[in-house]
Amino acid sequence: MKWPRDLGLKMRMWLTILLLGIVYLIFIGILLALNFPTTVVLPLIFLMVFIQYFFSDRLVLWSTRAKVVTEEEYPELHAMVSELATEAGIPKPRVAIVHTPVPNAFATGRSPSHAVIAVTDSITRLLSKDELKAVIAHELSHVKNRDVLTMTIASFVSMLAFMVMRYALFFGIGGDRRENAPILVAWLVSIIVWIASMILINALSRYREYAADRGSAIITQQPRSLITALQKISGRMDYVPPEKRQEVEGANAFFIIPALSGSTLMELFSTHPPLEKRVAALEQIEQDQPWI
């Protein structure tokens, strides 16, 4: 099986990383403008980078209350993940379960050798075996494409930029306007960067969903199974109580179908492509059959 070379995804990932670097520089500049000592700022930034890189998977699992399970606990699920990981040409990830009525799945981890595939217990009951395999293959494609870490860090830094934008003025202004000028400039720049980062991150998120859908079709050679799985998950989501969907809102950008979508008024600010566009793309893949 030849994995498609996706230059579009790679370019978007590098652009997002570049923007993250800009956000970090702005964050450092604002802290220094607020008279934080360099001996505090630099170790703080180093600590944040360290935590993001080495503990991003644990933070995502913690936020969703996902529990890593053993092969003895879920032998069929482990066997399915192992088989599909072999087809994808990556090491078998750890497997986690989330106990929630929200039918969904996600991948996390800084690299293919440190990845976790998580599924909710409700999705294992909702989908057929072939549909569940298609969903897991979609998540393995995220791991194969190495877009998981980029999205994890991007989501964190976007939140950081928002916090800077929200609180810099509150904590930094008072007294001489000339003294406040650097803080005002930094605050305005942080607004621009936050908006730009949200647009770029969401564009990357939407594109990576298309790429993972293609990967699932190639791994399983059954794009129709992913189509019906996406339709089932989306259809069931409306019947899940809003408070249950809010409990897993923190992983919304990582899910195969967003648990909460009411806040996205325009596709530009959406983390996922519209379902009908994903189905149309998969139907085209089914027609073209790129694995032949």
pLDDT per residue as tens digits for the range 230-247: 999 999 998 899 888 888
Domain count, the chain: 1
CA distance 270 to 243: 21
Domain ranges, residue 149: 7-288
Element (H, E) at 96: strand 94-98
Task: Name the range with the highest mean pLDDT among 5-9, 117-121, 167-171.
Answer: 117-121
- Determine whether 176 is exposed, middle or buried from the number of CB atoms within 10 Å of its CB (0-12, 13-18, 19+): exposed
Could you tell me the pLDDT band of residue 261, with boundaries at 50, 70 and 90? low
- Determine whether 263 is exposed, middle or buried from the number of CB atoms within 10 Å of its CB (0-12, 13-18, 19+): exposed
- Asked whether residue 279 is assigned to any structural domain, the reply reads yes
**Assigned token pair, 239:** 């019947």
- Span 53-65, mean pLDDT? 81
- Asked whether residue 231 is assigned to any structural domain, the reply reads yes
- Asked whether residue 2 is assigned to any structural domain, the reply reads no
In percent, the amount of the chain with pLDDT more than 90 equals 43
CB atoms within 10 A of CB 249: 16
**Assigned token pair, 122:** 């409700």
pLDDT per residue as tens digits for the range 64-77: 889 999 999 999 99
**Assigned token pair, 285:** 């893949």
- Asked whether residue 38 is assigned to any structural domain, the reply reads yes
The three-state secondary structure class of 23 is helix
> Is 139 an annotated catalytic residue?
yes
pLDDT per residue as tens digits for the range 153-192: 776 666 566 666 566 555 554 445 555 566 676 667 667 7
Annotated catalytic residue within 139, 247, 249, 267: 139
pTM recorded for the entire structure = 0.84
CA distance 270 to 257: 12
> Rounded to the nearest 5 degrees, what angle is found at the Cα of 120, between the Cα atoms of 118 and 126?
130
Predicted local distance difference test score (pLDDT) of residue 79? 97
- Enumerate the β-bridge partners of residue 104: none
- Asked whether residue 1 is assigned to any structural domain, the reply reads no
